[in-house]
Structure 1
C-alpha cells in the first residue's frame, strides 16, 4: 500500500509537501527512498493540472501514463541500487528553444510547430544523464526574441504572481513554472536577459553563466555565436548551483566551452565582510526606469551592507549609447543569419512576427566593416568593465527597467515618458553582462505596492560564477523572498 492509497486528505497534504521541496532536498528524498519517483511524478502532474491552465507555462506535455511508467522505471533502478544522479526521477521541462530528443522543438514559431527533435542539445543531454524525466517544454516568445513569452503556437505565458501580467522572457515559461511549483528546477538560456528578466518578474533565481561555461548547441555557428548561453534557474541558489554543475564543462562539439567544473565546486557559505560592491543604478540617468523600481532596488542595497559589504555608486568609463549600438549590430547580424532564409520566402515571412522581420532586415543591411567595428566596441566595453573590477568585487544593477506589465501588450512603448525606439530597448539594462561575457545572477529584492516582483543583477568578473552564487546565497539567507512570498495562487490554495 503506497502513501497515495491513504485517505485523500493525507495524500493531498503529501503532494503539497513534495512540490514545496526545493530540488536538492527532493533529490535526497528520492535517493534515500523516502519518496518514490511515482509519488513525485503524481504530485507534479497534479500541480501542473491545477495551475498550468492559469499561466500557460508548460507546453507539449507528454501523456501522464507515459510519465508514470518512466517514473516506475526510475523506482526499479533505485531498487537495484542504480542511481543515475541528483536529478534521478525528477520532472523536468526543457525550454522550447533547446532540442530534447523525442519532444517537439517549436521555438514558438508556426514554421516549426510540432517538429520533433532527433537529438538532445548538449546541456539537455547532461540533464538526461543525471536522471531527469522530461515531461514537456517550457513556453517562449517566437525564436526567443523579446522578453515577453507569447507566440502564435501556444499563446501567452502569464506571470505567476498575476496571470494577467507578463512573465518575462524568453525563459518566461520556465520562471512561471518554477514559481508555481510546476517544476523543481528549470533550464533556460540568455541572450538579452532571458534568464534574468523572467526570474525577476516571477520572484525566483536565474543565472546567466560566464560565456563558455555551459556548452551551447549543437549549433552551426561554432565560433560566431557568443551572445547566448544556456543556464540554470531555481527557487534556491543551491539548486541553481547544482544545475549549473550539471550543465557546465567542456564538450568536443563546443570548442569555445570552458574546460572542467572544478572552479564551481565549493561551499556557498562565505563571509562577505569588507567586500567591495559597485552600484550601477540607471547608468547615470541613461536608463529610464518605471517609477518605484529604482527605489526598490536601491533599498535592497541595505541587504548587502547588512552582509558586511561596502556599497558605493559607480559608472563605467564607456558611453552607454555606444554600447547600445554595439548590441544592435551583434544581435541583428546573428538573427539575420538564422532567419534570413525564412524572410526570403514570402509564405514563411508572413508567419514571422514583425520584430523578427525587423531584426533580419536590419542585419542584412550590415557590412563586414560594421561587424568589425562592433567587435572592437565590444572589446573596449569588456576592458571598461574589467577596470571596474579592479576596484570592486561585484557590480549591481536592476534586472529590468519596468515591473511586469499587461500580458496583452507585446512590449512597453515608453518608460517614464521616454519612448522606446525598438521592441527590446526596454530591456537595455541587461546587455552589459551579455556583451562582457561575465556571470550575472538575478536575485529577488521584493515587490512594489501592487505586489509585482523585481530582482537585482549581481555581476562578477569573468569565470567568477561561484563567487556570484556565493553572494546570491548570502543574500538569500538574509532575505528569503522566495520562501516567504509565494504566489497568491498558492497562498489561496492553502
Structure 2
C-alpha cells in the first residue's frame, strides 16, 4: 500500500468496499502526497483536509453505498463547493466561500466521493494556461519549466502526480482535453447536456461543459456514470442513462484520421507523436482512413458565441484580468447580425459532420497543436514560424471540436524527445460518449503511455 495514492479510482473503490482499505487511509494518502509534491507544482490551491477526514470517518462508519464510496476527489476552482473557498481564479472572489454545491459536486458527494480540495485554474477558466493573480502558475510535473495547460491544469497535475484519483473539470475551448494532453492523463469533454449545468445566467449556452478527468479511461467512465443524468433545471439535459459500451475493442470500426484538422499548423514534435496513433488502431483491427476536413465554419461560430457569453457572464465585474477583460470587450461588440452568421455557420457544420459520422465511428486528431510550452509565456504566439493573431488561436484544434456538440476525449499518446506528454483526441458523433470511451480504452490498453509517471 506504499503506492496507495497511485491506485486507480476503480481499484481504490473496490478495496474500500471490501474493507481492505479505509476511506480515512485513502484520504490520508492523498493528503500526504499533496504535502509532498504540491509545493513544486501548485496544483491544489485550497485544501479541505479537516472536512475530508471527517467525511472519510463518516464513510467508514456506514455501509458502502455509491460507486465512489470513500474515494477522494478534487474540484476545479470554478465549481461551487459548499463551505470550501471558491475563487474562480479571480481576485474579485479571493475570499469567496459558497453556501451550496454545484450540481456536479452534489452528484459526486451523493456517489460517496470525498471532496479533498480545489484545483487551480486561470481567471474564470479563461485560456489554456493555468495562471492567475490569486495563486500564480501551475507547473507541468513532467518538466517544471513548462505549462500544465488549462483551464483544468490544476486538476490534470493533481491526477498526474497522484494527489487524487479523480478530478472534475470544465471545457469550453479544450479545458478538459488540453491539460490532459499536456500532463499525460485522460480528459473527456462530454456531449453537452450529458453532465447538466444549472444556471440562471446562461442556461442555454452549450459550448461550455463540465466533465471528468482521471489517470485511466476506466476511471473517467466510472466518474461519468456518477455525474451524468437528467436534471430538469438544465434545458438541454440528456434524458437517457449513460451506459458504457462492452469492452470489445475496435475491430471493424471505421476510424477517420486527420493530422491537422484541415490545415492547422502543428508543431513537428506533436505531429510525430500523434502520427503513431493510426497504426495502433490498424493493429487493433480498425479500418483507418486519412481524411480532409473543412471545419473552418467553427472559427467564427466559436469566437462569436464565446465573446457574447463573456459579456453576458462577466460584463458587470470590475478588476478583471487582461484575458477576461479582452473577451468581455469582444463580446460587447457582438451584434445580432454576428450571432445570426455564427448560428448559420454552426448549423452548416453540424449537418456536415452528422453526415461524416454516418460514415466513420470516430475521428482521431491532435488535441493540442503544440507540446507544453514555457510556463512564463502567457500563451503560444507562433507555431512553425506562423505568427498567431491572439492568445486563442493556438487552441483551434480543441475549440473547433467544441463547436460540433460532440464528445471528445484526450488520451495519452506518447512523449516528445524531451519527455513532454502528447495526447491524441478521439471525437465521436453527438451523444456517442460511450463509443468514444470504448475507443479510448482500446487505445490506452494497446499503448500504456498513461503508465509513465512524472519524475518528481
After TM superposition, is the score higher than 0.5?
yes
Equivalent residue, structure 2, for 1:73: 58
Q: Which residue of structure 2 aligns with residue 11 of structure 1?
A: none
2:196 to 211, 215, 219: 215
- In the TM superposition, what is the alpha-carbon distance from 1:219 to its structure 2 partner? 4.2
- CA distance in 1: counterparts of 2:419 and 2:357, whole angstroms: 35
Structure 1 vs Structure 2 CA RMSD: 1.3
The answer for the alignment partner of 2:145 in structure 1 is 164
SS in 2 for 1:168: coil
Whole-Å Cα distance in 2 between the matches of residues 235 and 134 of structure 1? 18
The residue number in structure 1 matching 2:397 is 429
The partner residue of 2:303 within 323, 328, 334 is: 328
Which residue is 1:243 aligned to? 223
2:75 maps to what in 1?
94
Preserved contact between residue 186 and residue 217 of structure 2 (Cα < 8 Å): yes
Deviation string, structure 1 residues 256-314 (Cα, Å, up to 9, x no partner): 100131x42443x1142221111122134x21111221121112211111111111111
- Partner in structure 2 of residue 5 of structure 1: none
Within the alignment, does 1:20 sit opposite 2:45 as a pair? no
Q: 2:259 & 2:57 partners in 1: Cα distance?
A: 50
SS in 2 for 1:430: helix
Q: Deviations over 1:346-368 (max 9, x none)?
A: xx2xx322221111111111111
2:413 maps to what in 1? 445
Q: 1:280–1:314: 8 Å Cα contact kept in structure 2?
A: yes
C-alpha distance in 1 between matches for 2:151 and 2:92: 18
Quote the offset at 1:65 in angstroms.
4.0
Tell me if 1:274 matches 2:252: yes
- Give me the whole-angstrom Cα distance separating, in 2, the residues matched to 1:65 and 1:385: 49
2:426 maps to 1:458: yes
Partner of residue 283, structure 1: 261
Quick one: distance in 1 between partners of 2:354 and 2:113?
38
Q: How far, CA to CA, are the matches of 1:221 and 1:228 in structure 2? A: 10
**SS at the partner of 1:386?**
helix
What is residue 299 of structure 1 aligned with on the other side?
276
In structure 2, C-alpha distance between the alignment counterparts of 1:31 and 1:319, rounded to whole Å: 46
- 2:243 corresponds to: 264
5 Å-filtered alignment, 1:16-95, equals 16-62=2-48, 64-77=49-62, 82-95=63-76
Unaligned 5+ runs, structure 2 = none
Seen in structure 2, the aligned counterparts of structure 1 residues 32 and 402 have a Cα distance that, compared at 3 Å, is same
Q: Determine if the alignment matches structure 1 residue 376 to structure 2 residue 344.
A: yes
Matched-pair contact (CA < 8 Å) for 2:74–2:166: no
Larger Rg: 1
SS in structure 2 of the partner of residue 264 of structure 1: coil
Structure 1 residue ranges (4+ consecutive) displaced by more than 6 angstroms after TM superposition: none
What is the CA–CA distance in structure 1 between the aligned matches of 2:358 and 2:199, rounded to whole Å? 36
Q: How many residues were matched structurally? A: 456
> For 1:78-105, what per-residue CA distance to the aligned partner results, in whole angstroms no more than 9, with x for missing partners?
xxxx223122222221111111111112
Is 1:390 equivalent to 2:358 in the alignment?
Answer: yes
Counterpart in the other structure of 2:105: 124
Counterpart residue number, 1:311:
288
CA-to-aligned-CA distance 1:107-129 (integer Å, 9 cap, x gap): 10001112111111111100011
Alignment of 1:180 with 2:161, yes or no, is yes
CA contact (8 A) 2:16 2:69 kept: yes
Match of 2:133 among 152, 156, 160: 152
1:141–1:151 Cα contact (<8 Å) kept? yes
Which has a greater percent of helix?
1
Distance 1:328 1:250 in 2: 29
Secondary structure of 2:146's counterpart equals coil
Is the partner of 1:488 in helix, strand or coil? coil
Conserved 8 A contact 1:160-1:177: no
Who is 1:338 aligned against? 313
- Partners of 2:283 and 2:416 in 1: how far apart? 22
Cα pair distance change 1:131/1:218, threshold 3 Å: farther
Q: Secondary structure at the match of 1:193?
A: coil
State the shift of 1:420 in Å.
1.2
Match of 2:90 among 109, 116, 123: 109
1:391, distance to aligned residue in structure 2 (A): 1.8
Distance 1:243 1:219 in 2: 26
1:105 & 1:432 partners in 2: Cα distance?
A: 29
What residue is the counterpart of 1:8 in the other structure? none
Question: 1:160–1:180: 8 Å Cα contact kept in structure 2?
Answer: yes
TM-score after normalising by structure 1: 0.90
Tell whether the 8 Å contact from 1:329 to 1:370 is kept in structure 2 after alignment.
yes
Runs of 5+ consecutive residues of structure 1 not aligned to the other structure: 1-13, 343-347, 490-494
Residue 390 of structure 1, CA deviation: 2.2
